[in-house]
Amino acid sequence: MYGATVDEIEDAAYDDKLAEFEARIARGEKIEPGDWMPDEYRRQLIRMISQHAHSEVVGMLPEGTFITSAPTLRRKLILLAKVQDEGGHGQYLYHAAETLGATREEMLEALLSGKAKYASVFNYPALSWADMGAIGMLVDGAAILNQTMLARASYGPYSRAMIRICTEENFHQRQGEDIIITLAQGTEEQKAMAQDAINRWWWPSMMMFGPHDSDSKNSEILLRWGVKTRTNDQLRQQFVNQMVPKLHKLGLSVPDPDLHYDEESGNWIHGEIDWDEFWNVIKGNGPCNAERMAARRKAHEDGQWVREALEAYAARQEAQPA
């Protein structure tokens, strides 16, 4: 390294560290909070995990509206447990992001200011009890495919959070399917309710997997560094192949006139997604964006006294003589 500049020496050191980092990932090792990692790996994970956490917490809102109007006490208890689970998933994920140096205050400020994203699917309204079934079956069904993949992510805390979350997510999907099956096998009106809910939640669920791979600006580095192990389109295709036969078996249709089965590939080929709608909802112009953000801002304001009490208690503890 004689005659090399400080930058060149530092660059060489960086290259060596990057090579070892990528070798670790290639060996299937987990990267832990205290390990060396490229700044971009840290940034990507904070972005992805914090937005995942925001999605879990905002995702409580559509279903929360139906807790008081569940048709039976049993359905109320199941839905209550599910919504509580989502809040807990948010906490796991905020903690996972904190292991990377992000603070809860920064993440919540990014959400409440509109700077951070959350899953666009939660900006659609839940209009009937059947929506509880469609959300569980389709939205949680899509989430399970994505999160099962993330359970293999190279970042240890994210991967471990996903293992716990996937266990609960499976219950979420089953309870949703149970609602849809009950309605589909009920009266004509109930079956029509289920079909209406499937019609409204199908495309927003398809959008949960993100833009097409060719438009997914983050996927390349996330795949290279083992955060993602499947692409957006691969997961979406798996979702379509899984859901279409289930819906058809119940005598329900998929709101996609271009959907057809391709014998050669064994895939259900879906029609084009309305990406204008996708980006428009992400930009804040969906049916419920304002309502969802107002609810999150109010919850944060209503919790101010708790944060102040905790700070006062911590300050008093600190002031106590050792």
β-bridge partners, 31: 155
Closer Cβ to ligand 3HC, 169 or 256, answer by number: 169
Phi and psi, residue 268, nearest 5°: -85, 120
Distances (CA, A) of 38 to 18, 268, 314: 7, 39, 35
**Token reading at 223:** 């795949």
Residue whose C-alpha is closest to residue 143's, from 209, 198, 83: 209
Contacting range for ligand 3HC; rule: CB under 6 A; set: 5-13, 54-62, 66-74, 284-292: 54-62
CB of 263 to ligand 3HC, least distance (A): 29
- Segment near ligand 3HC (CB under 6 A), from 26-34, 114-122, 242-250, 303-311? 114-122
Ranges within 260-319 binding ligand 3HC (CB under 6 A): 282
Q: For residue 71, how far is the Cα from the chain centroid?
A: 28
CA separation for the pair 78, 191 (Å, rounded): 21
- Residue 269 phi/psi, 5-degree rounding, is -90, 120
Give the up-direction half-sphere exposure of residue 118: CA atoms within 13 A in the CB hemisphere: 26
| DSSP 8-state code for residue 104 | H
Nearest distance from C-beta of residue 188 to ligand 3HC, angstroms: 30
For residue 311, what are the contacts with CB-CB under 8 A and spacing of at least 6?
A: none
Residues 178-217 that bind ligand 3HC (CB under 6 A): 207-211, 216-217
The residue whose two tokens read 């209503």 is 302
Using the contact rule CB under 6 A, the part of the chain among 9-17, 32-40, 50-58, 305-313 near ligand 3HC is 50-58
Instruction: Please select the residue that binds ligand 3HC; options are 143, 194, 197, 206, rule is CB under 6 A.
Output: 143
Provide, rounded to whole angstroms, the least separation between the CB of residue 191 and ligand 3HC.
Answer: 25
Tell me how far, at minimum, the Cβ of 183 lies from ligand 3HC, in Å.
20
Q: Which of 50, 98, 110, 120 binds ligand 3HC (CB under 6 A)?
A: 120
Q: Does 55 bind ligand 3HC (CB under 6 A)?
A: yes
Site for ligand 3HC, rule CB under 6 A:
47-48, 51-52, 55-56, 59, 86, 89, 117, 119-120, 139-140, 143, 146, 169, 207-211, 216-219, 222, 232, 282
